Amino acid sequence: MIDIEVIESSTSVGLSDAAASVEVASVAQRRRFTAEFKRRILDEVGRAGPGEIGLILRREGLYSSQLSQWRNWRNGMRSKKGSGITSELKTEVQRLEKENSRLKLRLRKAEAMLDLQKKAAEILSFDDESEGSDS
């Protein structure tokens, strides 16, 4: 019998040492990007000319929707998951709602006074007509 020794080497099949050490995860994990990375990409995209944005996205493995979200983040806007309303806006809304309810009450009172004046005018005009017919 002839003994054949098999030597396993990543270079014998054309793989580099780095590629041979890469393991595939059984469960995909969500990628997380640092604020510094996001700013760097946004700056690079801002300087990019026509057609270069796609190249940057492909190179970094990103989607255009991520750029949109990051631009909103950079401009101080919140994502769709957040309420999008700051505390200043909430206080302004509360103030306006309070003023609105106060004005609605005032309107109801004014309408009630107008109705009362109309009824009084009808009663007075009825009395005038009845006095004129007796004479």
- The full set of domain ranges for the chain reads 31-84, 87-130
Lowest average pLDDT, out of 31-45, 66-80, 108-122, goes to 66-80
Q: Tell me: the pLDDT tens digits for 13-70?
A: 555 555 556 676 678 788 899 989 999 999 999 998 888 999 999 999 999 999 999 9
Residue linked to tokens 């099949």? 13
The token duo for 97 is: 């709602």
Q: What is the dihedral of CA 78, 79, 81, 87, to 10 degrees?
A: 10
CB-based contact 42:70 (threshold 8 Å): yes
